[in-house]
Amino acid sequence: MIAKGQAPCSPNTGSYCKARKRLPEGVMSALARQSGQRLSDQAPDTWQWKGRHVKIVDGSTVSMPDTAANQEAYPQQRGQQPGLGFPIARLVAVFDLASGALTTLGVGRYKGKTTGEMALFRQQQRYVQRGDVVLADCYYSSYWTLAGLHGQGIDYVGRQHHRRKTDFRRGQRLGREDHVVEWPKPVKPAWMDEQTYAELPEQLAVRELRVQVSRRGFRTQVFVVVTTLCDAVCYRAQDLADLYRQRWHCELDLRSIKVALGMDVLRCQTPEMVRKELWMYVLAYNLIRAVMVRTALQEGLCPRQLSFKGALQAVNGFTPALVLAEGAVVDALLDALWVSVAAHRVGQRPNRVEPRL
Protein backbone atom coordinates (compact mmCIF):
# COMPACT_ATOMS: atom_id res chain seq x y z
CA MET A 1 0.00 0.00 0.00
CA ILE A 2 2.82 2.38 0.89
CA ALA A 3 4.68 1.56 -2.35
CA LYS A 4 1.58 2.64 -4.30
CA GLY A 5 1.36 5.91 -2.38
CA GLN A 6 -1.54 4.92 -0.14
CA ALA A 7 -1.95 4.72 3.61
CA PRO A 8 -0.80 1.47 5.23
CA CYS A 9 -3.46 -1.03 6.26
CA SER A 10 -4.00 -2.10 9.84
CA PRO A 11 -1.89 -5.04 11.09
CA ASN A 12 -5.02 -6.37 12.85
CA THR A 13 -6.28 -9.43 10.93
CA GLY A 14 -9.74 -9.43 12.55
CA SER A 15 -11.46 -7.76 9.60
CA TYR A 16 -9.89 -10.23 7.17
CA CYS A 17 -11.04 -13.19 9.28
CA LYS A 18 -14.60 -11.84 9.52
CA ALA A 19 -14.76 -11.23 5.78
CA ARG A 20 -13.45 -14.71 5.06
CA LYS A 21 -16.13 -16.18 7.32
CA ARG A 22 -18.88 -14.25 5.48
CA LEU A 23 -17.74 -15.51 2.07
CA PRO A 24 -20.38 -18.10 0.99
CA GLU A 25 -19.07 -21.65 0.62
CA GLY A 26 -21.28 -22.21 -2.43
CA VAL A 27 -19.70 -19.31 -4.30
CA MET A 28 -16.22 -20.64 -3.68
CA SER A 29 -17.07 -24.19 -4.78
CA ALA A 30 -18.80 -22.87 -7.91
CA LEU A 31 -15.80 -20.71 -8.83
CA ALA A 32 -13.41 -23.62 -8.29
CA ARG A 33 -15.47 -26.02 -10.41
CA GLN A 34 -16.06 -23.46 -13.18
CA SER A 35 -12.38 -22.63 -13.40
CA GLY A 36 -11.50 -26.30 -13.78
CA GLN A 37 -14.19 -26.96 -16.39
CA ARG A 38 -13.16 -23.89 -18.43
CA LEU A 39 -9.59 -25.13 -18.57
CA SER A 40 -10.85 -28.54 -19.68
CA ASP A 41 -12.96 -26.93 -22.41
CA GLN A 42 -9.97 -24.86 -23.66
CA ALA A 43 -7.88 -27.94 -24.38
CA PRO A 44 -7.49 -28.42 -28.16
CA ASP A 45 -8.10 -31.76 -29.84
CA THR A 46 -4.36 -32.44 -30.01
CA TRP A 47 -4.27 -32.63 -26.21
CA GLN A 48 -7.20 -35.04 -26.02
CA TRP A 49 -7.27 -38.82 -26.14
CA LYS A 50 -8.80 -39.75 -29.50
CA GLY A 51 -10.66 -36.45 -29.47
CA ARG A 52 -12.32 -37.13 -26.11
CA HIS A 53 -11.92 -35.51 -22.70
CA VAL A 54 -10.53 -37.90 -20.07
CA LYS A 55 -11.28 -37.33 -16.38
CA ILE A 56 -9.08 -39.10 -13.80
CA VAL A 57 -10.61 -39.85 -10.41
CA ASP A 58 -8.86 -40.84 -7.19
CA GLY A 59 -9.24 -40.48 -3.45
CA SER A 60 -7.07 -38.92 -0.76
CA THR A 61 -7.26 -37.52 2.77
CA VAL A 62 -6.40 -34.33 4.66
CA SER A 63 -6.04 -33.62 8.36
CA MET A 64 -7.01 -30.51 10.30
CA PRO A 65 -6.70 -28.94 13.78
CA ASP A 66 -7.97 -31.04 16.67
CA THR A 67 -10.98 -28.96 17.70
CA ALA A 68 -14.27 -30.30 19.06
CA ALA A 69 -16.20 -29.07 16.01
CA ASN A 70 -13.75 -30.64 13.55
CA GLN A 71 -13.75 -33.93 15.50
CA GLU A 72 -17.53 -34.11 15.38
CA ALA A 73 -17.74 -33.42 11.65
CA TYR A 74 -14.62 -35.34 10.56
CA PRO A 75 -13.70 -37.88 13.28
CA GLN A 76 -10.19 -39.24 13.56
CA GLN A 77 -9.30 -42.82 12.60
CA ARG A 78 -10.62 -45.66 14.78
CA GLY A 79 -7.16 -47.03 15.54
CA GLN A 80 -6.06 -43.84 17.31
CA GLN A 81 -6.73 -43.14 20.97
CA PRO A 82 -8.81 -40.04 21.80
CA GLY A 83 -6.53 -37.04 22.10
CA LEU A 84 -3.72 -38.70 20.13
CA GLY A 85 -5.04 -38.19 16.62
CA PHE A 86 -6.30 -35.45 14.38
CA PRO A 87 -9.62 -35.07 12.54
CA ILE A 88 -9.41 -36.45 9.02
CA ALA A 89 -11.53 -35.84 5.93
CA ARG A 90 -11.81 -38.03 2.85
CA LEU A 91 -11.50 -36.42 -0.57
CA VAL A 92 -12.37 -37.64 -4.06
CA ALA A 93 -10.81 -35.47 -6.76
CA VAL A 94 -11.59 -35.47 -10.48
CA PHE A 95 -8.80 -34.11 -12.71
CA ASP A 96 -8.77 -33.35 -16.41
CA LEU A 97 -6.04 -35.44 -18.02
CA ALA A 98 -5.18 -32.94 -20.77
CA SER A 99 -4.91 -29.71 -18.75
CA GLY A 100 -4.36 -31.10 -15.24
CA ALA A 101 -7.21 -28.95 -13.90
CA LEU A 102 -9.26 -30.14 -10.93
CA THR A 103 -12.87 -30.09 -12.17
CA THR A 104 -14.67 -31.16 -8.98
CA LEU A 105 -13.94 -32.30 -5.43
CA GLY A 106 -15.97 -34.45 -3.04
CA VAL A 107 -15.46 -34.00 0.72
CA GLY A 108 -16.73 -36.36 3.43
CA ARG A 109 -15.99 -38.12 6.68
CA TYR A 110 -13.21 -40.67 6.70
CA LYS A 111 -15.36 -43.27 8.47
CA GLY A 112 -19.04 -44.11 8.53
CA LYS A 113 -21.64 -45.38 6.07
CA THR A 114 -21.96 -43.72 2.63
CA THR A 115 -18.68 -41.86 3.20
CA GLY A 116 -16.35 -44.01 1.08
CA GLU A 117 -14.69 -43.03 -2.18
CA MET A 118 -17.43 -44.66 -4.25
CA ALA A 119 -20.18 -42.74 -2.45
CA LEU A 120 -18.35 -39.43 -2.81
CA PHE A 121 -17.71 -40.09 -6.50
CA ARG A 122 -21.39 -40.83 -7.12
CA GLN A 123 -22.16 -37.40 -5.69
CA GLN A 124 -19.69 -35.80 -8.11
CA GLN A 125 -20.76 -37.69 -11.26
CA ARG A 126 -23.14 -34.88 -12.23
CA TYR A 127 -20.11 -32.65 -12.83
CA VAL A 128 -18.66 -35.05 -15.42
CA GLN A 129 -19.73 -34.13 -18.97
CA ARG A 130 -21.53 -36.41 -21.41
CA GLY A 131 -19.01 -37.92 -23.84
CA ASP A 132 -16.14 -37.88 -21.33
CA VAL A 133 -14.05 -40.93 -20.44
CA VAL A 134 -13.50 -41.64 -16.73
CA LEU A 135 -10.13 -43.19 -15.85
CA ALA A 136 -9.73 -44.82 -12.42
CA ASP A 137 -8.04 -47.58 -10.45
CA CYS A 138 -9.47 -50.99 -9.55
CA TYR A 139 -11.44 -49.68 -6.56
CA TYR A 140 -13.96 -47.97 -8.87
CA SER A 141 -14.38 -50.91 -11.29
CA SER A 142 -17.79 -52.10 -10.10
CA TYR A 143 -21.08 -52.64 -11.89
CA TRP A 144 -22.60 -49.63 -10.09
CA THR A 145 -19.90 -47.23 -11.31
CA LEU A 146 -19.87 -48.46 -14.91
CA ALA A 147 -23.67 -48.64 -15.19
CA GLY A 148 -24.16 -45.21 -13.60
CA LEU A 149 -21.66 -43.57 -15.94
CA HIS A 150 -23.02 -45.44 -18.96
CA GLY A 151 -26.48 -44.06 -18.23
CA GLN A 152 -25.04 -40.53 -18.42
CA GLY A 153 -23.31 -41.17 -21.74
CA ILE A 154 -19.89 -41.45 -20.09
CA ASP A 155 -17.39 -44.24 -20.77
CA TYR A 156 -15.08 -45.88 -18.26
CA VAL A 157 -11.53 -47.26 -18.35
CA GLY A 158 -9.99 -48.84 -15.27
CA ARG A 159 -8.27 -51.81 -13.81
CA GLN A 160 -10.24 -54.95 -13.00
CA HIS A 161 -11.24 -55.27 -9.34
CA HIS A 162 -9.20 -57.96 -7.59
CA ARG A 163 -12.33 -59.79 -6.39
CA ARG A 164 -13.80 -60.21 -9.88
CA LYS A 165 -12.56 -63.22 -11.84
CA THR A 166 -11.79 -62.89 -15.55
CA ASP A 167 -12.32 -65.88 -17.85
CA PHE A 168 -11.30 -65.17 -21.45
CA ARG A 169 -12.98 -68.38 -22.63
CA ARG A 170 -16.34 -66.65 -22.23
CA GLY A 171 -18.01 -63.80 -24.11
CA GLN A 172 -17.38 -62.31 -27.55
CA ARG A 173 -13.73 -62.64 -28.51
CA LEU A 174 -12.11 -59.47 -29.90
CA GLY A 175 -8.50 -60.64 -29.88
CA ARG A 176 -5.98 -62.52 -27.81
CA GLU A 177 -7.02 -62.12 -24.15
CA ASP A 178 -9.50 -59.45 -25.22
CA HIS A 179 -13.26 -60.03 -25.09
CA VAL A 180 -16.67 -58.50 -24.29
CA VAL A 181 -18.79 -60.08 -21.54
CA GLU A 182 -22.08 -59.27 -19.87
CA TRP A 183 -21.98 -58.17 -16.25
CA PRO A 184 -25.31 -59.03 -14.53
CA LYS A 185 -26.94 -56.53 -12.21
CA PRO A 186 -26.21 -57.46 -8.58
CA VAL A 187 -28.71 -57.43 -5.76
CA LYS A 188 -29.86 -53.96 -4.73
CA PRO A 189 -27.53 -52.46 -2.11
CA ALA A 190 -28.94 -50.77 0.97
CA TRP A 191 -27.83 -47.29 -0.09
CA MET A 192 -29.71 -47.35 -3.43
CA ASP A 193 -33.40 -46.51 -3.81
CA GLU A 194 -35.83 -48.73 -5.73
CA GLN A 195 -36.34 -46.33 -8.65
CA THR A 196 -32.63 -45.95 -9.35
CA TYR A 197 -32.14 -49.70 -9.12
CA ALA A 198 -34.99 -50.37 -11.55
CA GLU A 199 -33.55 -47.94 -14.11
CA LEU A 200 -30.21 -49.77 -14.31
CA PRO A 201 -29.82 -52.40 -17.07
CA GLU A 202 -30.09 -56.08 -16.19
CA GLN A 203 -26.94 -56.79 -18.24
CA LEU A 204 -24.03 -54.44 -18.98
CA ALA A 205 -21.62 -55.08 -21.85
CA VAL A 206 -18.06 -54.71 -20.54
CA ARG A 207 -14.79 -55.23 -22.38
CA GLU A 208 -11.96 -56.99 -20.54
CA LEU A 209 -8.39 -57.25 -21.81
CA ARG A 210 -5.16 -58.49 -20.25
CA VAL A 211 -2.08 -56.24 -20.31
CA GLN A 212 1.45 -57.64 -20.08
CA VAL A 213 4.06 -55.25 -18.63
CA SER A 214 7.55 -56.13 -19.86
CA ARG A 215 9.36 -53.04 -18.56
CA ARG A 216 11.85 -53.38 -15.73
CA GLY A 217 11.09 -51.72 -12.43
CA PHE A 218 7.28 -51.92 -12.68
CA ARG A 219 5.68 -53.48 -9.63
CA THR A 220 2.78 -55.03 -11.56
CA GLN A 221 3.60 -57.30 -14.48
CA VAL A 222 0.11 -58.48 -15.51
CA PHE A 223 -3.28 -56.83 -15.01
CA VAL A 224 -6.71 -56.68 -16.63
CA VAL A 225 -8.26 -53.48 -17.97
CA VAL A 226 -12.06 -53.16 -17.98
CA THR A 227 -13.88 -50.61 -20.11
CA THR A 228 -17.21 -49.77 -21.71
CA LEU A 229 -15.36 -48.90 -24.96
CA CYS A 230 -16.19 -52.12 -26.78
CA ASP A 231 -15.23 -51.05 -30.33
CA ALA A 232 -11.94 -52.88 -30.91
CA VAL A 233 -11.32 -50.99 -34.18
CA CYS A 234 -11.53 -47.47 -32.76
CA TYR A 235 -10.06 -48.39 -29.39
CA ARG A 236 -7.26 -50.92 -29.77
CA ALA A 237 -6.04 -52.91 -26.80
CA GLN A 238 -2.70 -51.09 -26.80
CA ASP A 239 -4.49 -47.71 -26.83
CA LEU A 240 -6.41 -48.66 -23.70
CA ALA A 241 -3.29 -50.00 -21.99
CA ASP A 242 -1.43 -46.76 -22.74
CA LEU A 243 -4.36 -44.72 -21.45
CA TYR A 244 -4.51 -46.63 -18.18
CA ARG A 245 -0.81 -46.00 -17.68
CA GLN A 246 -1.58 -42.26 -17.69
CA ARG A 247 -3.77 -42.72 -14.61
CA TRP A 248 -0.60 -42.06 -12.62
CA HIS A 249 -0.97 -38.36 -13.49
CA CYS A 250 -3.73 -38.23 -10.87
CA GLU A 251 -1.21 -39.18 -8.18
CA LEU A 252 1.14 -36.46 -9.42
CA ASP A 253 -1.66 -33.87 -9.47
CA LEU A 254 -2.66 -34.75 -5.90
CA ARG A 255 0.99 -34.38 -4.91
CA SER A 256 1.08 -30.95 -6.53
CA ILE A 257 -1.94 -29.63 -4.65
CA LYS A 258 -1.11 -31.29 -1.32
CA VAL A 259 2.68 -30.87 -1.23
CA ALA A 260 3.55 -27.96 -3.52
CA LEU A 261 0.56 -25.88 -2.35
CA GLY A 262 0.46 -27.33 1.20
CA MET A 263 -3.10 -28.70 1.32
CA ASP A 264 -2.15 -31.90 3.18
CA VAL A 265 -2.63 -30.26 6.62
CA LEU A 266 -5.37 -27.64 6.93
CA ARG A 267 -5.47 -24.80 9.47
CA CYS A 268 -9.09 -23.78 10.04
CA GLN A 269 -10.84 -24.44 13.33
CA THR A 270 -14.41 -25.20 12.16
CA PRO A 271 -15.80 -27.62 9.54
CA GLU A 272 -17.32 -24.82 7.45
CA MET A 273 -14.03 -22.95 7.28
CA VAL A 274 -12.19 -26.21 6.56
CA ARG A 275 -14.34 -26.74 3.45
CA LYS A 276 -13.79 -23.13 2.38
CA GLU A 277 -10.06 -23.61 2.80
CA LEU A 278 -10.20 -26.71 0.59
CA TRP A 279 -12.08 -24.88 -2.16
CA MET A 280 -9.60 -21.99 -2.03
CA TYR A 281 -6.76 -24.45 -2.53
CA VAL A 282 -8.62 -25.92 -5.53
CA LEU A 283 -9.16 -22.45 -6.99
CA ALA A 284 -5.50 -21.49 -6.47
CA TYR A 285 -4.42 -24.78 -8.03
CA ASN A 286 -6.61 -24.19 -11.09
CA LEU A 287 -5.30 -20.64 -11.49
CA ILE A 288 -1.73 -21.96 -11.61
CA ARG A 289 -2.91 -24.54 -14.14
CA ALA A 290 -4.46 -21.69 -16.15
CA VAL A 291 -1.05 -20.04 -16.39
CA MET A 292 0.41 -23.35 -17.57
CA VAL A 293 -2.36 -23.84 -20.16
CA ARG A 294 -1.88 -20.35 -21.59
CA THR A 295 1.88 -20.90 -21.74
CA ALA A 296 1.44 -24.27 -23.46
CA LEU A 297 -0.92 -22.78 -26.05
CA GLN A 298 1.53 -19.97 -26.83
CA GLU A 299 4.61 -22.19 -26.98
CA GLY A 300 3.03 -25.12 -28.85
CA LEU A 301 3.46 -27.50 -25.90
CA CYS A 302 1.21 -29.69 -23.77
CA PRO A 303 0.56 -28.72 -20.13
CA ARG A 304 1.92 -32.09 -19.01
CA GLN A 305 5.32 -31.06 -20.41
CA LEU A 306 5.50 -28.17 -17.91
CA SER A 307 6.42 -28.38 -14.23
CA PHE A 308 3.68 -27.37 -11.79
CA LYS A 309 6.19 -26.46 -9.09
CA GLY A 310 8.22 -24.45 -11.61
CA ALA A 311 5.09 -22.57 -12.66
CA LEU A 312 4.21 -21.91 -9.01
CA GLN A 313 7.69 -20.54 -8.31
CA ALA A 314 7.54 -18.33 -11.41
CA VAL A 315 4.13 -16.90 -10.43
CA ASN A 316 5.32 -16.24 -6.86
CA GLY A 317 8.45 -14.57 -8.20
CA PHE A 318 6.61 -12.26 -10.60
CA THR A 319 3.69 -11.39 -8.29
CA PRO A 320 5.41 -8.60 -6.26
CA ALA A 321 6.42 -6.80 -9.46
CA LEU A 322 2.99 -7.31 -11.10
CA VAL A 323 1.21 -5.84 -8.07
CA LEU A 324 3.11 -2.55 -8.46
CA ALA A 325 3.39 -2.45 -12.27
CA GLU A 326 1.20 -0.31 -14.52
CA GLY A 327 0.62 0.15 -18.23
CA ALA A 328 3.08 -1.40 -20.67
CA VAL A 329 5.21 -2.77 -17.85
CA VAL A 330 2.42 -5.22 -16.99
CA ASP A 331 2.42 -6.63 -20.54
CA ALA A 332 6.20 -6.94 -20.51
CA LEU A 333 6.14 -8.77 -17.17
CA LEU A 334 3.43 -11.16 -18.35
CA ASP A 335 5.37 -11.97 -21.52
CA ALA A 336 8.41 -12.72 -19.38
CA LEU A 337 6.25 -14.85 -17.07
CA TRP A 338 5.11 -17.07 -19.98
CA VAL A 339 8.74 -17.54 -21.02
CA SER A 340 9.75 -18.42 -17.47
CA VAL A 341 6.97 -20.99 -17.07
CA ALA A 342 7.82 -22.55 -20.45
CA ALA A 343 11.45 -22.94 -19.36
CA HIS A 344 10.47 -25.27 -16.51
CA ARG A 345 10.00 -28.51 -18.46
CA VAL A 346 9.32 -31.96 -17.06
CA GLY A 347 12.17 -34.29 -17.96
CA GLN A 348 11.41 -37.09 -20.41
CA ARG A 349 12.65 -40.19 -18.58
CA PRO A 350 10.47 -43.08 -19.76
CA ASN A 351 10.77 -46.42 -18.02
CA ARG A 352 13.70 -45.34 -15.84
CA VAL A 353 14.76 -47.87 -13.23
CA GLU A 354 15.86 -46.76 -9.74
CA PRO A 355 16.28 -49.92 -7.65
CA ARG A 356 16.43 -49.56 -3.89
CA LEU A 357 19.82 -50.31 -2.34
Q: Give residue-wise pLDDT tens across range 194-247.
A: 999 999 999 999 999 998 876 665 666 788 999 999 999 999 999 999 999 999
- On whether residue 299 sits in a domain, the answer given is no
Q: Give residue-wise pLDDT tens across range 25-34.
A: 999 999 999 9
Q: Are 170 and 181 in contact (CB under 8 A)?
A: yes
**Residue 209: per-residue pLDDT:** 94
d(CA 204, CA 206): 6
- On whether residue 180 sits in a domain, the answer given is yes
The residue segments making up the domain with residue 181 are 138-243
Residues 6-23 have a mean pLDDT of 90
**Residue 280: per-residue pLDDT:** 96
Residues 177-188 have a mean pLDDT of 94
Compute CA 241 distance to the chain's CA centroid, rounded to the nearest angstrom.
20
Q: What number of other Cβ atoms are within 10 A of residue 306's Cβ? A: 23
C-alpha distances in angstroms, 69 versus 14, 73, 112? 21, 6, 17
pTM of this structure: 0.91
Given a cut of 90, whether residue 343 has pLDDT beyond it is yes
- For residue 3, what pLDDT band results from cuts at 50, 70 and 90? confident
- On whether residue 171 sits in a domain, the answer given is yes
- On whether residue 302 sits in a domain, the answer given is no
Radius of gyration from C-alpha coordinates of the chain = 23
Across all residues in the chain, what is the average pLDDT? Answer: 92
Given a cut of 90, whether residue 9 has pLDDT beyond it is no
- On whether residue 347 sits in a domain, the answer given is no
d(CA 15, CA 242): 52
**Residue 222: per-residue pLDDT:** 85
- On whether residue 186 sits in a domain, the answer given is yes
- On whether residue 107 sits in a domain, the answer given is no
Number of separate domains in the chain: 1
Percentages helix, strand, coil for the chain (3-state, rounded to 5) are 45, 20, 40
The dihedral through the CA atoms of 46, 52, 54, 55 has a sign that is positive
- On whether residue 159 sits in a domain, the answer given is yes
Q: Shortest CA distance to 316 belongs to which of 346, 345, 348, 341?
A: 341
